[in-house]
C-alpha cells in the first residue's frame, strides 16, 4: 500500500512539472499591457495625474483614510 501511495505521489508531481512551463512570466507583455492600460491615468511613475485616479505607488494620505 505504501508503494502505491508513493508511486501515485511521484506521478502527480511529475505531471505538474510539465504544465509549469506554460505559465512562465512574460515580462515584456506585462510592460506593454501596463503601458497601454494603466499609464494613461496613473502616469509612467504610477503616480496619478488627476485626483480621481488612485496612485499605484506612494498612495496619498487622504485616499488611505
For every one of its 65 residues, what pLDDT tens digit does the chain have, with 9 covering 90 and above? Answer: 788 888 888 877 776 666 656 666 778 888 888 888 888 888 778 888 787 888 888 877 777 77
Cα 54 from Cα 65, distance rounded (Å):
13
The reply to whether 17 falls in a domain is no
Sign of the Cα torsion 7, 8, 13, 17 reads: positive
The reply to whether 61 falls in a domain is yes
The reply to whether 57 falls in a domain is yes
| Reported pTM | 0.40
The reply to whether 49 falls in a domain is yes
Enumerate the H helices of the chain as residue ranges.
Answer: 2-20, 27-37, 39-42, 61-64
The reply to whether 20 falls in a domain is no
Cα 2 from Cα 8, distance rounded (Å):
10
Domain count, the chain: 1
The reply to whether 19 falls in a domain is no
Enclosing domain of residue 59: 30-65
Between the CA of residue 20 and those of 15, 24, 29, what are the distances in Å? 9, 7, 18
The reply to whether 8 falls in a domain is no
Amino acid at each position: 500500500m505504501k508503494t502505491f501511495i508513493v508511486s501515485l505521489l511521484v506521478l502527480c508531481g511529475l505531471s505538474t512539472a510539465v504544465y509549469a512551463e506554460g505559465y512562465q512570466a512574460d515580462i515584456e507583455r506585462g510592460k506593454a499591457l501596463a503601458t497601454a492600460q494603466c499609464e494613461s491615468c496613473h502616469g509612467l511613475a504610477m503616480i496619478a495625474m488627476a485626483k480621481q485616479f488612485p496612485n499605484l505607488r506612494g498612495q496619498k494620505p487622504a485616499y488611505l483614510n
